[in-house]
Amino acid sequence: MRASKLYAPTLREVPAEAEIISHQLMLRAGMLRKVAAGIYTYLPLSWRTMKKIMDIIREEMDAIDGQELMMPAALPAELWQQSGRWQVYGDELWRLKDRHGRDFCLGPTHEECITYHFKNDFRSYKQLPQRLYQIQTKFRDERRPRFGLMRGREFVMKDMYSFDLDEDGLNKSYQAAYDAYHRIFSRCGLRFRPVEADPGAIGGNGSHEFMALADTGECEVLFCNQCDYAANIEFVSREPEKAAMEESKPLEKVATPGAKTVEDVAQFLGVDRKQVIKTLCYQADEELVLVLVRGDRQINEVKLQNALGCFTLAMVNDDVLQEKGYFRGSMGPVGSKGIRMVADLEVPYLSNAVCGANESGYHYIHVNPERDFKADIVADIRLVEAGEQCPHCNGHLESKRGIEVGQVFKLYTKYSQSMEAYYTDETGEEKLAVMGCYGIGVGRTMAAVIEQSHDENGIIWPMTIAPYHVVIIPVNDKEEILMRTAEELYDKFQKAGIETVFDDRKERPGVKFKDADLIGYPLKITIGKKGLERGVVELKRRDSEVMTEVPLSEIVAYVKAIVQKELIK
């Protein structure tokens, strides 16, 4: 490719709208342009990288017997009604109507569609297992599209679905996908870790997220400093801390003027924060619920949502609270009627505790669960935090941030059941297919690589997914001999199968060097007059400061060897 023709409008300034480095660099390197919030055009450079990531994914999916197919983006509502997700998916589902007024959506994921095909086209145990995948544009009307390709409303995803005879088969498919994901992300040059993840309503130990480690990641991951335990903070559970029971004292209401927070109340009454029952009010679907945790704990909303089995969950604002006779800072379970209460597992272990009296400026002391109130649901709903003990050993949990680039998931029979996807086993009995699903965000993976691999001058691509392998820069476009040599080298590289950009623009060398660093070509060849007189060109790797002089006669073989070695890695 000649740089004079390359559609890569580089920018010197950092665009104001881009908060994180990968987004800034993709805009600055002329790789990406925004069309609407969370909706982008991949310009040629980023699309080349996207295609390379997709090629790696294809190779690894095919290697585990995946068959590529392509499902439609426009999906009829009926499929989603059968699975029940038309109602529960919420505002993220991009809904539309056709000219006859029939409901459709743009697929955010394709469990329904693939299960529909399985149901219609597969009959016998002899045809199983099946591992079917596609690489396709997905639509999710995200509440907060941001960070460029990290959280788009339209994005490219690889999604694979497995259909097995039984749980054993599912475990094998799951492990195969898990191992393939290892290879995919390694080949993309990412530093990542698979971590245990929330399997949502399905339960069980059935999901891992692949987290690229980066400070800008939206996820928090807890790692053990001694064993290999690692999990999304949303999913970490520990045994409840069992406080020693004291003898119950009589319930008493006391004035706590001005004390609003747990901290204030504990200080005012001279008790530990652990003795306070923190009470919050949430709207869960149509219903209000009171949520109780120990005063030194935080609520884990993912666990809370699972415990309630609701589709939407949000803290209520002060107006709604007052309407119901509650006041922020003095809410409590004692005497609360007509409202469901969910308590964390640690709450029943409290004795002579403190809680709000549902009267501004008053709290109860000597509150004893069971005697003074009864929670409707007692479940693990608290957030486990960094610094706590590991759930598996005596080590301690440390926190890091991660970007979820992929997730693998055991679905069991959730969709085969709701959509009636059966096969016939050896004895002629109809059985539900046992399913798994496996997703990778292609654009998010590309962005994650940039988050991890850049410097102050620009991107540093690994060879495997670099848009081009090499850039050739003649330092003076007016010197006939330099331009001719560059032209000849460009030709030889192309013939050798090395993906090359020849910077033939009539620009100062400084501009060309800046653009080369910004775009992040792994190898840069500089052709200067003095070098040529000695029969050498300069070779510099983007990931090192070292400059090597290579004889012109050897440069093609030299570069080819580097490229080939790094592509195999």
Residue number, 24 or 407, with CB nearest to ligand ATP: 407
Which residues inside 169-208 make contact with Mg ion, applying CB under 5 A?
none
Residue number, 61 or 292, with CB nearest to ligand ATP: 61
Q: How far is the CB of 417 from ligand ATP (least distance, A)?
A: 20
Residue number, 107 or 474, with CB nearest to ligand ATP: 107
The CA distance from 207 to 204, in Å, is 8
Answer with the entry of Mg ion, ligand ATP, none that 155 interacts with (C-beta below 5 to 8 A by kind): ligand ATP
Report CA Rg, the chain: 29
Length of the chain: 569
Q: How far is the CB of 21 from ligand ATP (least distance, A)?
A: 17
Residue number, 150 or 353, with CB nearest to Mg ion: 150
Residue type, 159: D
Question: Which residue of the chain is nearest Mg ion when measured via CB?
Answer: 407
Q: How far is the CB of 360 from ligand ATP (least distance, A)?
A: 39
Residue 15 is classified by DSSP as P
Residue number, 216 or 279, with CB nearest to ligand ATP: 216
Tokens 């928090």 belong to 220
Tokens 């200080």 belong to 267
Query: Which among 71-79, 147-155, 403-411, 479-487 is the span making contact with Mg ion, rule CB under 5 A?
Result: 403-411
Q: How far is the CB of 109 from ligand ATP (least distance, A)?
A: 6
Answer with the entry of Mg ion, ligand ATP, none that 406 interacts with (C-beta below 5 to 8 A by kind): ligand ATP
Q: Residue 166 has which token pair?
A: 């039984």
The CA distance from 367 to 475, in Å, is 80
Answer with the entry of Mg ion, ligand ATP, none that 217 interacts with (C-beta below 5 to 8 A by kind): none
Residue number, 52 or 363, with CB nearest to ligand ATP: 52
Question: Which residue of the chain is nearest ligand ATP when measured via CB?
Answer: 441
Q: How far is the CB of 175 from ligand ATP (least distance, A)?
A: 18
Tokens 């698979």 belong to 194
Q: How far is the CB of 22 from ligand ATP (least distance, A)?
A: 12
Nearest CA to 321 among 365, 372, 283, 361? 283
Answer with the entry of ligand ATP, Mg ion, none that 485 interacts with (C-beta below 5 to 8 A by kind): none
Answer with the entry of ligand ATP, Mg ion, none that 152 interacts with (C-beta below 5 to 8 A by kind): ligand ATP
Answer with the entry of Mg ion, ligand ATP, none that 151 interacts with (C-beta below 5 to 8 A by kind): ligand ATP
Q: How far is the CB of 439 from ligand ATP (least distance, A)?
A: 3
Residue number, 443 or 458, with CB nearest to ligand ATP: 443
CB atoms within 10 A of CB 60: 22
Residue number, 356 or 439, with CB nearest to ligand ATP: 439
The CA distance from 158 to 50, in Å, is 12
Contact at 8 Å (CB) between 409 and 122? Answer: no
Residue 273 is classified by DSSP as G
User: Is 109 one of the binding residues for Mg ion (CB under 5 A)?
Assistant: no
Q: How far is the CB of 154 from ligand ATP (least distance, A)?
A: 8
Alpha helices in 64-128 (DSSP H): 77-83, 85-88, 111-121
Q: How far is the CB of 259 from ligand ATP (least distance, A)?
A: 37
The CA distance from 62 to 57, in Å, is 8
Residue number, 289 or 448, with CB nearest to ligand ATP: 448
Contact at 8 Å (CB) between 461 and 48? Answer: no
* CA torsion angle 496 498 499 500 (round to 10): -90
Q: How far is the CB of 366 from ligand ATP (least distance, A)?
A: 43
Answer with the entry of ligand ATP, Mg ion, none that 472 interacts with (C-beta below 5 to 8 A by kind): none
Burial class (CB in 10 A: 0-12, 13-18, 19+), 254: middle
Q: How far is the CB of 462 from Mg ion (least distance, A)?
A: 24
Enumerate binding residues for ligand ATP (CB under 6 A).
109, 140, 142, 151-152, 155, 157, 404-407, 439, 441, 443-444
Number of chain residues interacting with Mg ion (CB under 5 A)? 1
User: 560-569 contacts: CB < 8 A, separation 24 or more?
Assistant: 560/496, 560/497, 560/498, 562/463, 562/523, 563/463, 563/469, 563/470, 563/498, 563/523, 566/462, 566/463, 566/464, 566/522, 567/463, 567/464, 569/187, 569/463, 569/464
How far is residue 373 from each of residues 292, 327, 334, measured CA to CA in Å? 11, 19, 5
Q: Residue 223 has which token pair?
A: 């790692």
**Binding residue for Mg ion, selected from 130, 162, 207, 407, defined by CB under 5 A:** 407
Residue number, 23 or 444, with CB nearest to Mg ion: 444
Q: Give me the residues that bind Mg ion (CB under 5 A), please.
A: 407
